[in-house]
Structure 1
Amino acid sequence: MDQQIVGILHPGSMGAAVAACAATNAARVLWCAEGRSPASATRAERFGLEPVPTLQDLLDQSGTVISLCPPAAAEDLACAVAAHGFAGVYVDANAINAERAVRIAGLFRHAEAVVDGGVVGSPPVNGKTPTLYLSGRSDATARVEALFAGTAVRTKALGTEIGKASALKLAYASFQKTSRVLVALSIGMAREHGVDQELIDIASQRTDSYLAEPEYIAKTAARAWRWGPELEEAADMLAAAGLPPEMLRAAATTLARWENAKDDGELTLTEALQRLTQP
């Protein structure tokens, strides 16, 4: 397969690292600098991505475009790409519900193909090896798999049905993210009564309990701005399946209390718990 020119929308912490892996097998990996922050520019430069001035420039040159952005922006971004008449392979790898994935696929009448994607795991840096699950036309998913062959991003195709990859991503995120919110509430409750260490000791006697890792609460707070919208998407999927969405919506509401902790790598456990008490 010939080397591809790939466009990444937008190079956040996950998107930039995933794009850098794609660069292993791509001829070039482009990103659009228009309207992006200095932090995005710094991140893109660090990962060796090539800037182009406008979205149209990126779309004109790219045969494959990968969208990795906050869930709330996924549909608007797809609309913008479709409006430009993009004719290549569009990979929506955002944490959105399956219904939205199908709706987005319907926007691309001129595209060669649309691939539904979902990343499970941490950004592929420092030895991390996330998996990019894919669903869509087999020739298109094979094209995406070729981009990441031999890299830290593993891929797995789930079949041709758009929405499968998104459903798997959100099914996993529902447990993984909500369980960490419950840890924060449990530790906060125990600390209020001076028994937080005893709670941690109990949890430490059990296998793989998040309660035994209270230091992760601060990391959860720093990621709340991304995780909350993901859980809202997952709650929509539960409701569509006739299942109760209230627990995930409550977790998303809890995460909203940490919105001002966005990407704060210096946040401590105590500070995270204090912010959780403030509506």
Structure 2
Amino acid sequence: MTTLGILHPGSMGAAVGAQAKAQGADVLWCAEGRGSASKERARRYGLAATADLTELCGRCDVIISLCPPANAIEVAQAVAAESFPGVYVDANAIAPATIAQIGDLLMPSAVAVVDGAVVGSPPSETKKPRLYLSGPEEPAATVARLFHGSAVQPIILGGGIGKASALKLAYTSYQKASRVLAAVSYALASDHGVEGELLDIARGRTTSYLTETAYFPKTAARAWRWAPELREAAQALDDVHLPAALMDASAEVLERWGTLKDEPLGIAEVLDRLHTASND
């Protein structure tokens, strides 16, 4: 039986850990310093708590880091300080350069560092996200085996670390920036009383995020997590000499919503915050 550690059981991490548990893995998490919401998720999904990170690193064969991208290096540094001797999977939305930095942190003690990327919503009976993996072949295969037959679909990419992260950010660059651009476009139309006409134009197209106005509050509630992700996307673009300004601008818009973490707001309140933040 493989023992898997999840850092940390947010909505994605807890659900991913539960899928590995259902396939026979022993899944642990570190309760030290975590809030009541994390503890409740871990309890609901049946994850076993360790007293601290030292215990978790000492008991686990594989650790998967699933956290906001802004915290990815911090989490890796904490694990590196414990001289973790297993397989470390960074499955966060980070730039290839960032995963390379994390690899340098972990490799003095780790068996391997695997680059991971989750594309899709948290796994459930109806949702089956993909877990892309790149890096050393056998460690990546070990991680993939944890999820075979589960709602998490592991896909191993050829090549070294960085490929999974690049794929995730290539997708993120379109998906999240498009959501942001749709909200800004709608806000402009709303200011001039032509939002109905804008939606009529958008509905005449095959697909358009502009018609999905109910998603604006969801985007705002996730902005605290999406903004750092798009900053990583900007870095990834800049690293290969592609224009990064659109990603930085989208991140700047999201940062205006940064204090709305998980708040149940309406469309009008969310759009108003785009204006008021500029005057703070």
Query: Is residue 93 from structure 1 mapped to residue 62 from structure 2 by the alignment?
Result: no
Aligned counterparts of 1:255 and 1:149: Cα–Cα separation in 2:
36
Aligned counterparts of 2:201 and 2:158: Cα–Cα separation in 1:
43
Three-state SS of the structure 2 residue aligned to 1:132 is strand
Aligned counterparts of 2:24 and 2:261: Cα–Cα separation in 1:
32
CA RMSD, Structure 1 to Structure 2 (Å):
1.0
Specify the code of the residue in structure 2 equivalent to 1:269.
Answer: I
Three-state SS of the structure 2 residue aligned to 1:85 is coil
CA positional deviation for 1:208: 1.7
Q: Deviations over 1:7-37 (max 9, x none)?
A: 0001111111111111122331000000001
Partner of 1:82: 80
Specify the code of the residue in structure 2 equivalent to 1:177.
Answer: K
Partner of 1:53: 51
Aligned counterparts of 2:207 and 2:123: Cα–Cα separation in 1:
23
1:208-247 aligned within 5 A: 208-247=207-246
CA positional deviation for 1:126: 5.2
Partner of 2:25: 27
Normalised TM-score (structure 2)? 0.96
1:201-212 aligned within 5 A: 201-212=200-211
CA positional deviation for 1:57: 0.7
Partner of 1:118: 117
Runs of 4+ in 1 over 3 A off after TM superposition: none
CA positional deviation for 1:125: 2.8
Aligned counterparts of 1:113 and 1:100: Cα–Cα separation in 2:
16
Preserved contact between residue 25 and residue 146 of structure 2 (Cα < 8 Å):
no
Partner of 1:177: 176
Aligned counterparts of 2:27 and 2:265: Cα–Cα separation in 1:
33
Identity of aligned residues (%): 55
Q: Deviations over 1:31-64 (max 9, x none)?
A: 0000001111111111111111100111111101
Aligned counterparts of 1:129 and 1:263: Cα–Cα separation in 2:
23
CA 267–196 in structure 1, closer or farther in 2 if over 3 Å, else same? same
Q: For structure 1, list consecutive stretches of 5 or more residues without a partner in the other structure.
A: none
Specify the code of the residue in structure 2 equivalent to 1:100.
Answer: T
Partner of 1:69: 67
Partner of 2:6: 8
Three-state SS of the structure 1 residue aligned to 2:247 is helix
Three-state SS of the structure 2 residue aligned to 1:275 is helix
Normalised TM-score (structure 1)? 0.96
Aligned counterparts of 1:213 and 1:229: Cα–Cα separation in 2:
23
Partner of 2:155: 156
CA positional deviation for 1:242: 1.0
Q: Deviations over 1:191-250 (max 9, x none)?
A: 111111221121112112101111110110011001100000010111111112111101
Preserved contact between residue 125 and residue 151 of structure 2 (Cα < 8 Å):
no
Q: For structure 2, list consecutive stretches of 5 or more residues without a partner in the other structure.
A: none
Three-state SS of the structure 1 residue aligned to 2:146 is helix
Three-state SS of the structure 1 residue aligned to 2:100 is helix
Structure 1 counterpart of 2:102, from 101, 104, 113? 104
Three-state SS of the structure 2 residue aligned to 1:261 is coil
Specify the code of the residue in structure 2 equivalent to 1:198.
Answer: E
Aligned counterparts of 2:124 and 2:206: Cα–Cα separation in 1:
27
CA positional deviation for 1:105: 0.9
Aligned counterparts of 1:4 and 1:147: Cα–Cα separation in 2:
8
Preserved contact between residue 65 and residue 89 of structure 1 (Cα < 8 Å):
yes
Preserved contact between residue 64 and residue 88 of structure 1 (Cα < 8 Å):
yes
1:187-206 aligned within 5 A: 187-206=186-205
